[in-house]
Homo-oligomer: A and B are copies of this chain.
Amino acid sequence: MSTTSRKRRLGRAVSIVGAGMSRFGAFADKDSRDLFVEAFQDMLDNLDQGIDVQDIECAYVGNYSSDLFEHQGHTAPIIADWLGLTPMPVTRIENACASSGSALREGIMAIASGLYDIVLVGGMEKMTSLPTEGVTDVLATAADGLYEVPAGLTFPGIFGAIATAHMDRYDTNLDHLLKVAIKNHENGALNPKAQFNVTIQSLMERRMTRAQERGQPVPEYVTEMDFLNDPAANPWIAWPLRLYDCAPITDGAACVLLVASELTHNFTDKPIDIAGTGQASGRPLHDADELTSLSAAKAAASQAYEMAGVTADDIQVAEVHDCFTIAEIIATEDLGFFAPGEGGRAVDEGRTALHGDKPINTSGGLKAKGHPVGASGVGQVAEIFHQLRGEAGERQVNNPNLELGLTHNVGGTGGTCVVNILRRAS
């Protein structure tokens, strides 16, 4: 028998009726549990019709490594306790930086299974508890400790190699990478919850002003590219990646409330439906067939498109996993938004800008909004939820027919990829 080609359908439709986020950033006085409570409170404050929190039947917590960041395991029941929701069942989901993307899928299946009607799904990470080299070491445990890490690979090096391969195979260049950063900072500047809600332009001007105030030589920047090409302002991390090619280290949490679609009327008249969901695993990088795309991303996207009955062209807004600028370029190719090798040019032409024809990472992405790894997947979903409801404020996509959005969440070097497609209920 073979069932791998059967059409996958959920036994019961599932919708999102609320979303919340903590501020993303570096918060010395907050543990991950505090951040989760902040996200939950933000969600409650913004629910259209409120909720008796005791009606939440089950929860999932995406978290990458409270173990290594906070020396705390078994975080799920702690979250239930801090939300006042004990004895609600609660389970931690870990798939590296795709932890909360996977958690969302577990929440979807929990409702579709018939076991629960109302499920909380969140993610959190407290990363700034360690110095930068400690964070790099913890993140490296998302690669294969038997083959990759002993060879000296950490994530900037891994994505540096991926970028090099992409530049070698296609006409992707250094400017393409930097333009991803410029775009995402422009979006992040419009997101009050973003860790870097500031444009590269502003950062450039700030640097010039500061030099002047200190009586130092003022750098002669005219464009953002001048600034980004100055190694003093934007040092090399792992060629061809520089500081502004890398997502920051972030503390933060995000959550969404899922309900069985037949119950959405109890919560809102603007529900957002789960139209499709896909997840796949990929072989570790040392065994991958190629470096210029992630096989798991293509497989997960294909599952999600098929379930939703749509194609890449139908997607109107997307949050993709830009842990490094090259990762966004490859994501837009793996998702089928652009042909392989065309992702860099699409950025260059402004197609992925907020008011381009395929807006990508309107939240600022991991690059500017921040990347609290276990929270990033649900953070993406929160952004698409707000976009499809027309409540994204200054960064709202200008499309009166906005209906379909997508999230693309990657763990490790593509060991895990989760793609979810959301649809505004008509």
Contact = CB atoms under 8 A, between A and B. Distances in A.
Interface of A: 1-4, 6, 8-12, 31, 33, 52, 54-55, 57, 64-65, 67-68, 70-74, 76-78, 80-81, 85-96, 102, 105-106, 108-118, 138, 141-146, 263, 266, 279-284, 287, 295-296, 299-300, 411-412, 415-416
Given A31-B146, A109-B113, A112-B113, A88 B281 contact: yes
Contacts of A280: 87-89
B281 A142 contact: no
Nearest to A67: B67
Contacts of A287: 81
A55 B3 contact: yes
6 contacts: A1-B263, A2-B54, A74-B143, A80-B281, A91-B94, A109-B112
B12 A11 contact: yes
Contact of A415 (B77, B116, B300): B77
Q: How many copies does the complex hold?
A: 2
A186 B8 CA distance: 48
Q: Tell me which of A92, A94, A300 has the highest count of chain B C-beta atoms within 10 A of its own C-beta.
A: A94
Contact of A67 (B8, B68, B281): B68
Q: Which 9 A-B pairs have the closest CB atoms?
A: A11-B114, A77-B415, A112-B113, A89-B279, A74-B96, A67-B67, A109-B113, A73-B141, A77-B281
Contacts of A72: 141, 144-146
Contacts of A93: 91-94
A146 B82 CA distance: 12
Contact of A141 (B3, B74, B88, B283): B74
B74 A91 contact: no
A112 B11 contact: yes
Given A65-B67, A95-B92, A109-B110, A118 B77 contact: no
A117 B3 contact: yes
Given A12-B11, A57-B3, A296-B87, A73 B142 contact: yes
A235 to B, nearest CB: 28
Contacts of A92: 93-95
Contacts of A106: 91, 106, 109
Contacts of A416: 74, 76-77, 89-91
Given A1-B55, A91-B106, A141-B72, A78 B284 contact: yes
A2 B284 CA distance: 46
Contacts of A117: 3, 6
Contact of A8 (B1, B9, B115, B299): B115
Nearest to A144: B78
A85 to B, nearest CB: 8
A81 B284 CA distance: 8
